[in-house]
């Protein structure tokens, strides 16, 4: 299983990690699931989550990683799966994009998804309908269990529990150090009280087919 460590301060739908050739999608039968064309760049951000400078820096890092290890990492960020359940979308994206090398079982994907158990976050969602998409479906723990029927490995990590308190400091100099501290608090809380995981704002799923 690929180990990962991710820090972020926003939401997007999917971050796909792929080992294989860029734009290496495999041809297949027509399917109504709206899978985008295979990425042609190391970093694709359709949600505007990353700054142009941050995306360029990450792209250079991924290029250096590929040059040094032979493994290729592709980051894909978008807002929606077009109404298709995430587990179905992920399976078909794997197939369409050719995730992993044919000779080695080294394909994996990371999906960043909102969770739907925190009553305070759900109240905020109900109060901000203009910020929602019509097909928005925050994941439930039952959705994660369903994913295990589609994937050999489902590794979920949970983010932004106590860190939600830092939102009030957004656009101030105190925001970044406060978020680092609250991220550490989140990690300690989840380790000490695993049942709190469901109340996090987002989960990052590492999936292996």
User: How far apart (Å, rounded) are the C-alpha atoms in residues 114 and 78?
Assistant: 13
* Domain-located, residue 52: yes
Q: What is the pLDDT of residues 40-82, one digit of tens each?
A: 788 888 777 677 888 888 889 888 887 887 776 777 777 777 7
Q: What is the pLDDT of residues 178-198, one digit of tens each?
A: 988 998 999 899 999 999 999
What residues contact 115, with CB distance under 8 A and at least 6 apart? 121, 138, 139, 140, 158, 198, 199, 200, 201, 202, 203
* Domain-located, residue 156: yes
Q: What is the largest CA-CA distance in the chain?
A: 52
* Domain-located, residue 109: yes
**Which range of residues forms the domain containing residue 102?**
43-160+203-208
N-to-C CA span, the chain: 11
* Domain-located, residue 29: no
* Domain-located, residue 13: no
**Residue that wins the pLDDT comparison between 6 and 102:** 102
Residue 22 is predicted with a pLDDT of 44
User: How far apart (Å, rounded) are the C-alpha atoms in residues 3 and 91?
Assistant: 20
DSSP structure string for 10-79: S--S-B----S-TT-PPP----SS-PPPPPSSSEEESS--S-HHHHHHHHHHHHHHHHHHS----EEE-S
Q: What is the pLDDT of residues 119-147, one digit of tens each?
A: 999 998 899 888 777 777 788 898 888 88
Residue with token string 């550490």: 184
* Domain-located, residue 176: no
Residue 25 is predicted with a pLDDT of 42
* Domain-located, residue 49: yes
* Mean pLDDT of the 164-169 span: 85
98's torsion region: left (phi>0), alpha (psi -120 to 50) or beta? left
Q: What angle do CA 139, 145, 150 make, to 5 degrees?
A: 100
DSSP 104: S
Contact assessment for residue 120 and residue 128, using Cβ atoms and an 8 Å cutoff: no
Counting the structural domains of the chain, the total is 1
* Domain-located, residue 19: no
């Amino acid at each position: 299983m690929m180990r990962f460590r991710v820090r972020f301060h926003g939401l997007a739908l999917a971050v796909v990690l792929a080992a294989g050739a860029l734009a290496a999608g495999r041809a297949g039968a027509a399917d109504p699931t709206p899978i985008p064309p295979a990425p042609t760049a190391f970093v694709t951000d359709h949600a505007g989550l990353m700054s142009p400078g941050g995306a360029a820096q990450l792209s250079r890092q991924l290029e250096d990683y590929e040059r040094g290890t032979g493994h290729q990492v592709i980051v894909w960020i978008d807002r929606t799966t077009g109404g298709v359940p995430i587990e179905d979308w992920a399976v078909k994206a794997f197939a369409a994009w050719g995730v992993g090398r044919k000779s080695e079982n080294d394909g994996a994907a990371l999906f960043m998804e909102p969770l739907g158990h925190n009553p305070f976050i759900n109240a905020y969602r109900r109060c901000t309908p203009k910020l929602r998409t019509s097909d928005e479906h925050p994941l439930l723990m039952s959705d994660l269990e369903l994913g295990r029927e589609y994937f050999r490995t489902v590794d979920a990590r949970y983010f932004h529990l106590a860190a939600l308190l830092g939102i009030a400091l957004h656009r101030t100099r105190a925001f970044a150090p406060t978020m680092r501290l609250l991220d550490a608090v989140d990690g300690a809380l989840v380790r000490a009280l695993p049942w709190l995981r469901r109340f996090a704002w987002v989960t990052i799923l590492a999936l292996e087919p």
